[in-house]
Amino acid sequence: MLVKHSDDCVPFVAVDGCVIRELLHPAHGDCELPYSLAIAEVAVAGSTFPHRLDRTEVYFVLEGRGRLHVDERTAELQRGAAALIPAGSTQWIANIGDEVLRFAVLVSPPWAADGDERVPGSP
User: CB count, 10 Å around CB of 4?
Assistant: 15
Domain 10-118 listed as CATH 3.30.540.10:
no
Ranges of each domain in the chain: 10-118
CA distance 93 to 76: 9
User: CB count, 10 Å around CB of 116?
Assistant: 17
Q: What share of the chain is helix, strand, coil (3-state, %, to 5)?
A: 5, 50, 45
Report pLDDT digits (tens) over 72-87: 999 999 999 999 999 9
CA 31 to chain CA mean position, Å: 20
* Total-model pTM: 0.94
Give the pLDDT of residue 121: 74
